[in-house]
Every structure is written in structure tokens, then in C-alpha cells.
Amino acid sequence: MSSEDIEKKGLGAEESNRMYESKGAAGQPENREADNTEDAGITEDTGITAETDNTAGADNPSEEDKEAETGEIARKAQEIKDRAMQIQKMKAVRNVITFMAVVISAVLQAFVIQAFIRPAERLSGGFTGIALLVEMLTSTWGISFPTSLGMLCINIPVAIICSRGISVRFTAFSLFQVFLTSGFLQFLHFEPLFDDPVLNVIFGGFLMGISIVIALKGNASSGGTDFIALYVSNKTGRSIWGQVFIGNCVLYCIFGLLFGWMNAAYSILFQFISTKTISTFHHRYDRVTLQITTEKADEMMEAYIRVCKHGISCVEAVGGYSRKKMYVLHTVISSYEVDDIIRLMREVDPHVIINVFKTEQFYGRFYHAPME
């Protein structure tokens, strides 16, 4: 082989090596691109998987959210329980107040009967007066029918009948007052205070009225005609103590025919003082009008409607001095609700102006809270 052939073969091999390296260099980017594409695919897949995991986490609340929700439910349950306990305590306190009022009323009524009525041979009104009259009549015939027994015999059937229009609680405490008065008349003994019949009538009538007012203020009564008066008042929304006085006057006329008109006249005066005392201190069925001037009409009406079942109206107004826009609210409520409503409105607006005046006549629907 000549030197030329050897040189040509060397050149061919070198050229072949160059071509091989060229192909290898050209193929590497393709492989890298493929590898990158595969990596990108893996990354995309990983991203989708992560996104799916996040979505699943949003649909399923975490443990912290569940604990917070459970804590909120427990807190609301505790609030309801505390509120129930508070209501029970309020009922217990109210029952204690009623019990004390009934006991004081019964003691005072027994005192009036023994210290002012019996010594002066007077007659009180209502079912107690009827029981006293029966005792006087039976004693003239040589029969003993005590006042305490007569009070029970008359009051129990009337209480059962009127309990449909008056709450059972009110009726029960009122009957308890009657039983206590009957018992105190049997076991307690009070000496007369005055020999003057006029003083007996004045002080006796006043204290008898106070004894009834104490029972009424404690959400009870002294029984008797109080049952009838309150039953009718609940139905009509009007006080009928004047009609009760007229009914008692009929009783006194019978008393006058049997035992003399002087005693009957004193008894009528006694009952008049007692009735005026009741109407002076007991205003459950009196109505009053509230005129409220405020800049917070919406908040005021919302708070009022939330706690009160009476209607309320609102008109716009302008302050004469300040020239500010304000509102005037009008509502009619029962007199025993005045303090609570005023307290509520002053909590909503400390600068509220409230004018309270008596309502002489009212026509239309009016809500009366039932006796409890």
C-alpha cells in the first residue's frame, strides 16, 4: 500500500469521527428537550395533584374549624342554660314576693276586722262583709257560724269559676290569702284601738284598703269580690271598683234593715274610704300616653316592639331651637308599664325626652298582659 492510500484512509477515518461527533452533538439537545418535556409533564401533574389536594382541603373543614364550631355550639347552649336559670330565679323571687305580700295582707286584714270592725259592730264590704253578716245573723239565732268558715265557703266556688279568666297562680295565691286570714282570725287576737266610731271608720277603712292593695301589688288578691272585679277588668280593660262599691252599698242596705241605719251609714263610709284607697294606690288598668322625642327613632321603635306588645307611631319633627331633624313617637300603655318602658328608652337614647300624661278615654284595640 502506498503512502497516498494510507493517508486517504486516515483522512476518511478522521472524517467519519467528525461526522459521528456532529450527530452526537446534534442529538443531545433533542434528548434534553425530551427530558425537559417529561420534567414539565411531571411538574404539571404534580401541580394538578397539589391543586386537587387544596380543593379537597377546602371542602373538608380542618380540625381547628370543627373545634371552633363545637365551641360556638357549646357557648350558645350555655347561654340558653344560663338564661333558663335566670328565669327560674326570677320566678322564684317573684313567688317569694307574692308569698310575703299575701302573708302581710292577711295579717293586716285580720287586724282590721278584730280591732276596728267587730268592736264597733260595723260591716266591711265584699265576701268578708257577707261572712260577717252571716255570723251576726246566726249569733242572734243562737247558732255559731264563724266568719272564717263563711269566708272559705263563699270564696272557694267563686275562685274556681273566675280562674278561667285569671291565671291559676293568681287564683291559688288569692285563695291562700283567704285561708291565712281565716286562720289568723281564729288564732290571733287584737285589742280595739279606739272607742270613737269615726276613728274606727277612718283608720279601719284605710287599713282595709291598704291590705287589699298589698295583695294586688304582689300579684294576688284578698279574694271575694276582688275575683269578680279583676275577672271583669281583664275582659273589659276597665277598672270596676266603683261598681264594686255600689254592690257593697246594697249589702249595707240589708245590714241597715236588720241592725240599724246608723251602723249601716258608718259601714258605707268605711267602704268608701277603703275603695278610694284601692283606686289611689292600684292603677293596673289606668292608661297613659307617652310622647317621646328622639333622634334615634328606628332604634327606639325596634327596642320598644321587641319588649312591648303595644303599637307605636312616629312623625318627623324639627327642633325649634337647634333646627335639627328629630322624631316624635306616640304610644299608649298601661300605667304599671311606664317605669320599664322609660328605663328601656333611656338605655337606647340617653338624651331622649319623654312626656307622660294620663289618657282619659281610649277607643280601639289595646293589649292587656295576663295576670301571672
∠ Cα 97 102 108 (to 5°): 125
**Given strand 287-294, what is the order of strands in its sheet?**
313-318, 325-334, 287-294, 353-358
d(CA 328, CA 325): 10
* pLDDT of 211: 93
Per-residue confidence in pLDDT tens, the chain, 372 aa: 444 444 444 445 444 444 444 444 444 444 444 444 444 444 444 444 444 444 444 455 566 666 666 766 767 666 666 665 565 567 788 888 999 999 999 999 999 989 998 887 777 777 888 888 888 888 888 787 888 888 888 888 888 887 776 778 888 898 899 899 989 988 888 988 888 888 989 999 999 999 999 998 888 888 777 777 777 776 666 666 667 777 778 888 888 888 888 888 888 888 889 888 988 887 766 788 999 999 999 989 988 988 888 889 999 999 888 888 999 999 998 887 888 889 889 989 999 999 999 887 777 777 666 555
The pTM is what? 0.62
* pLDDT of 9: 46
d(CA 11, CA 53): 63
User: Are residues 266 and 120 in contact, defined by beta-carbon separation less than 8 angstroms?
Assistant: yes
* pLDDT of 293: 93
d(CA 246, CA 243): 5
Relative orientation angle of helices 241-259 and 126-140, to the nearest 10 degrees: 10
User: Are residues 274 and 202 in contact, defined by beta-carbon separation less than 8 angstroms?
Assistant: no
Helix or strand run (H / E) with residue 331 = strand 325-334
Q: Are strands 313-318 and 287-294 parallel, antiparallel or unpaired?
A: unpaired
Relative orientation angle of helices 63-112 and 197-217, to the nearest 10 degrees: 170
CA 165 from chain center: how many Å?
20
d(CA 122, CA 273): 14
Domain boundaries, the chain: 82-281, 287-358
- Does domain 287-358 fall into CATH 3.30.470.160? no
